[in-house]
Structure 1
């Protein structure tokens, strides 16, 4: 994982975890989605991210999210390993598991910087 993306991923995950501990689950999930975009190409970050999404789904008592995250946990690492991830997908169960989405805003800028610094 490029250091620029790794740093941003870790920052988003830390914000998400802090919000989770403060029972701010919707806000936590927003940062988990951002982290998902950053880390989905890499086995461990991708899998850890879905674990946290599952935890939020459980806390919110959102059956759809819990079910969706269990499925995503089962396939996320494999998808990253073989390079079959839908770029830009935010990882939540409200988005199709293989739906590609545009990467926009500050995350797009981070990807562009990482690409230039390879």
Structure 2
């Protein structure tokens, strides 16, 4: 069994870029754009416990700020279990992380994100 602990350095700027874009869009009240960047950050960070947990925390905060209680309730178990599942390498690859999708459902990864993931695996 392989344990995942840290995100590759080559992947970190792409993950951070999505987090930064999500915050900037939220500040401008472009909530759908903000959410899309959080989903993209989730796909990039999902295999890594710290980043995976951090994205779910941001999704929980997003739900609280917008009083989206479905999202808040949906994020709580994801926040509690996501990092552990990442650590042991048991994740639904491509899942975007929101309460609008089943938490264990694998999903197709956007082409640009798949390229980023593949190009940064060995670096």
The verdict on a shared fold, with TM-score over 0.5 as the criterion, is yes
Which of residues 12, 17, 27 is equivalent to 1:21? 27
Mapped to 2, the partners of 1:102 and 1:29 lie a distance apart of 18
Counterpart residue number, 2:4: none
Match of 1:37 among 13, 37, 43: 43
* Structure 2 counterpart of 1:48: 54
More helix by share: 1
TM value normalised by structure 2: 0.88
What is the CA RMSD across the aligned residues, in angstroms?
1.3
Match of 1:89 among 89, 95, 117: 95
Q: Which residue of 1 aligns with 2:13?
A: 7
Q: What is the total number of aligned residue pairs between the two structures?
A: 117
Matched, 1:60 2:61: no
- Which sits farther off after the overlay, 105-114 or 31-40? 105-114
- Say whether the 8 Å CA contact 1:25–1:59 is kept in structure 2: no
Contact 1:89 1:100 in 2 (8 A): yes
Structure 2 residues not aligned, in runs of 5+? 1-6
Normalized against structure 1, the TM-score is what? 0.91
Answer yes or no: is the 8 Å Cα contact 1:4–1:110 preserved in 2: no
> Equivalents in 2 of 1:51, 1:104: separation in Å?
23
> Which runs of no fewer than 5 residues in structure 1 stay unpaired?
none
More off after superposition, 43-52 vs 58-67: 58-67
